[in-house]
Amino acid sequence: MNKTYHILPIKEVVDSLIQQIKDGSCGLFDKCGGYGIARQIKEKDGLRIVVIGSGSNTKSVSIEDNKCNYFYIRYRNDCKKEYKPKAKKSQRSACVTDYEAIIPLRLVAVVMGEPCTKLDPDVVEFCILSSIIGANLSRCSTQATIKIKDSCTDTCLVIEKEYGKDDISQFSNGLMAISIDFDLSIDLNVGLCQQAAPTICEQIKNACG
């Protein structure tokens, strides 16, 4: 059976991160867990929703107050990725250039007002940050690292960024929303690209009939 290669195994890395955040959340996200990798879509009325999947399998994971505590990880910057040549000392060969793919991501955590009315947003933020910073991504199929950018514990500001308006009145009292922005860096080397080429072609042909 041929191995299926993904030059940028973003979902694999994000899935691993989601599980580690869930495991390190002291039970906070045990019931609903986390979703990823998601993307933000602008609606006709200018508002935004956050979804995972595509086509008929698209599912909204936007901020809601009718489920248990959960979080999602989505692309920032309209799903754009940045590619940078690795430093010379990190190159595997002088004849080829290996690259680093930088994927800007945002984690949004949603905590219900009940039964967590006394929970401090800073405690939730630190809990999630600790899991992200301490995440072990060594089991993933490629080298990946995380760099924290910034965070926000103001629910109104988070809702404004995620929805396009800061109307918190539509949510139940006490709902908490926290965001953490970080960059995921994944090694993209020439050897992996060469290995992946045949099966990538196969995947394209199978998908396009």
Spell out the domain ranges in the chain.
10-208
* Percent residues over pLDDT 90 in the chain: 50
pLDDT greater than 90 at residue 185? yes
Give the pLDDT score at 129. 96
Which pLDDT band holds residue 69 (cuts at 50, 70, 90)? very high
Burial per residue of 27-64, b for 16 or more beta-carbon CB atoms within 10 angstroms, e otherwise = ebbeeebbbbbbbbeeeeeeebbbbbeeeeeeeebbbe
Q: Tokens at residue 45, please?
A: 């009325």
Give the pLDDT score at 54. 84
Which pLDDT band holds residue 5 (cuts at 50, 70, 90)? very low
Q: Is CATH 3.90.940.20 what the domain over 10-208 is classified as, yes or no?
A: no
Confirm if 186 and 100 have CB atoms less than 8 A apart.
yes
Which pLDDT band holds residue 3 (cuts at 50, 70, 90)? very low
- Entry pTM: 0.85
Which pLDDT band holds residue 23 (cuts at 50, 70, 90)? very high
pLDDT greater than 80 at residue 190? no
- pLDDT tens digits along 136-178: 998 776 789 999 999 999 999 999 999 887 677 777 778 899 9
Give the pLDDT score at 192. 62
Backbone angle region of 107, left / alpha / beta, with phi > 0 → left and psi within -120 to 50 → alpha = beta
Give the pLDDT score at 4. 46
- pLDDT tens digits along 195-205: 666 777 787 88
Backbone angle region of 46, left / alpha / beta, with phi > 0 → left and psi within -120 to 50 → alpha = left
Residues forming beta bridges with residue 108, ordered by sequence position: 72, 179
Q: Tokens at residue 148, please?
A: 């924290």
- pLDDT tens digits along 70-109: 999 999 988 889 999 887 666 665 556 778 899 999 999 9
pLDDT greater than 50 at residue 14? yes
